[in-house]
Chain A
């Protein structure tokens, strides 16, 4: 049957510039380009192009331009080209549509409706270049009250992890991303004094030297988990849900389970790595409490336990239960959180924006008087340091970034992670492609990203007359809303601009 899937991208080649060097052909992992020796020209198939721009960047003569295809069906607000094409793909295959990265639909981005305050006259702003600015962040349970004995503050009896900046690398498993990326995240976190998260894909032995910078994950598939894995890390995270695909599990297809991945996940090579939708030992808050304490017992109460959920409608009540179950750090992953692979229909429709979930959870925990019993970490679609600043002012202790870290290592957001063919060598296990990420350079780029955002955070703090991230936490007076309705301002706990 004839279908009319329009190419998503159009490829323009300047024949005067093209020297038929075939770089584009070698660089494209989606098979777009080929060389016609008879006519000595490069030819291409636009229908295969994913718009990752690898060829355009690598072309030595700048002969290539990859543009979003302006050709379309008859414009229709209801039946967009995307919906028409998705439907045709399903008619052809009868399958679930997969995608990668975070939700790209035009749901309201609340960060863009929140503005930050600055000090004028009555409260001097601070220049971070000449005055100390504290970004150091402690994650974990805090004592109910401070006790001073003989003039000395009693130490916190609960284990905490220390971050040099309130930004951590989000969980991306070895399997979802390549070894070089995984390694670079670990090393950059280690050298920058923050944490990276292994995700649920095990943790290669030779990387245990970065243990003090590592959060290991315990998710429903329990891949690669043993007592050494738990005890070599700085903290353990129980993953209940992920913002991109709340309520469903993970599924690493057998063809991605290479020999080395099979070693770290401790499963046979070539078999599917299936993480069930729920943890089958957790059907209640009491069950969660059981697993949290099993992990505490396994690590002799030396390590804080993170519990991560997706931002869903009743997140505040669940978060309250998580704190009462003994979670030391609560992680909420929002609607726009990224993924290596998820059903598109879930990614784009399930969950709520992180800004609202964060404010609601923080408010709830404060009202119940249990906010000190857990730190609050958020994730899902943070794009720059002002998003981080606003998150902390709304009540977060720290944030996870996943997509920004991938972009720092080369990602161009083509959303084809799930194909395993990433031309930038990030979300693939093909040795020809993974070599494209040089771990030295990637580590430097990640450290640069953390440094740049940290410097900007200090600038933002300084302009508000604040010299410590602690003084910003939950300080919603630093924020004002714009273009928001009453219920939105109320949920966020902020006033409108001008009020």
Chain B
């Protein structure tokens, strides 16, 4: 593995961007390398030729400036990118596999392609933007606590079991790549067991697609402002043209929410 400081740096100063060639490097060695460089004070990483390496950002704890760390991943990283991550930002110039942002606490993940299954499972904070589509079981059991509110913004569509057991946070689905909305490619079993948080979907959702615990309503003014804020973020991250950005901004969204904080309260005898 080679780590090359891109710029000439005067002695005694920490170089700003480190380029790492990940070709053929095991994830354990790769992530340890990033960790040790981060502990030295480096906070900009360009990781090239990534091919299946897992757990980007997972081991970046106990680092004072971890919230300033930016990692750009070129290629296709493996599963659990940003699992348990607490602060850093990762931009992926490609697709990501399963369990991205698993139990993530803080930070930012930007995916320029599609994402696999179980995106943002148990996520408690931070933001994930996916330019394209996402797989099955996305956003299961996301939760929020005080100022820790996780957000996922999905440019395309989602698959089944979307937002199950959701306990907090918000997910915004833009349904960008389907010509008409609603469309048969929307997922089934949305929000089963949902007991908190909100899902904002562009267009309408067929009631048959949702769990019994889910209610639908129009977003209120504050929520509409929030949607626009994240739509703007999406357009910024992925360089969306002005015209489409305006269309997305002005689109109608429906809000899916939990009918009760206690979905299983009446299940038991005494």
By a beta-carbon cutoff of 8 Å, the part of chain A in contact with chain B is 89-90, 92-98, 218, 220-222, 225-228, 230-231, 251, 253-254, 262, 266-268, 270-272, 274, 276, 280-281, 290-291, 293-295, 297-298, 300-301
Contacts and interface: CB of A to CB of B under 8 A. Distances in A.
Contacts of B266: 95
Contacts, number: 140
B148 to A, nearest CB: 7
Given A221-B122, A230-B84, A297 B261 contact: no
A293 B263 CA distance: 33
A348 to B, nearest CB: 15
Contact of A274 (B145, B161, B165): B165
A97 B105 CA distance: 37
A222 B141 contact: yes
A475 B145 CA distance: 50
A225 B80 CA distance: 16
Given A95-B268, A274-B141, A300-B32, 12 more contacts: A93-B270, A96-B268, A221-B122, A227-B86, A231-B62, A253-B262, A274-B165, A280-B161, A281-B118, A290-B80, A293-B54, A294-B55
Interface stretch (B96-104, B180-188, B214-222): B96-104
Nearest to B66: A227
Contact of B59 (A228, A254, A298): A298
Q: Which of A94, A276, A290, A297 has the most CB of B within 10 A?
A: A297
B168 interface: yes
A499 B38 CA distance: 65
B215 to A, nearest CB: 16
Name B's interface SS: loop
Interface of B: 27-28, 31-32, 35, 54-55, 58-59, 61-62, 79-80, 83-84, 86, 98-99, 102-103, 105, 118, 121-122, 124, 137, 140-141, 143-145, 148, 161, 164-165, 167-168, 193, 195-196, 261-270
Nearest to B122: A222
B31 A89 contact: no
A298 B57 CA distance: 9
A307 to B, nearest CB: 16
Contacts of A268: 144-145, 168, 196, 261
A399 B144 CA distance: 36
Contact of A227 (B105, B140, B267): B105
A294 B84 contact: yes
Contact of B196 (A95, A271, A276): A271
Contacts of B86: 226-227
12 contacts: A95-B267, A96-B267, A225-B122, A227-B62, A227-B105, A254-B265, A266-B148, A272-B261, A297-B31, A298-B59, A298-B84, A300-B59
A486 to B, nearest CB: 42
A253 B102 CA distance: 25
B21 to A, nearest CB: 20
Contacts of A231: 61-62
Contacts of A89: 269-270
Contact of A226 (B80, B84, B268): B84
Nearest to A249: B165
B249 to A, nearest CB: 30
A225 B148 CA distance: 13
Contacts of B140: 276, 280
A218 B268 CA distance: 26
Given A227-B86, A253-B262, A276 B102 contact: no
A431 B35 CA distance: 45
Contacts of B59: 297-298, 300
Contact of A253 (B103, B148, B265): B265
Nearest to B35: A300
B80 A294 contact: yes
A95 B263 CA distance: 14
A272 B264 contact: yes
B268 A98 contact: yes
Contact of A222 (B103, B262, B267): B103
Nearest to B106: A226
Residue among A89, A253, A272, A276 facing the most chain B CB atoms (10 A cut-off) = A272
Contacts of B118: 280-281
Contacts of B269: 89-90, 92-98
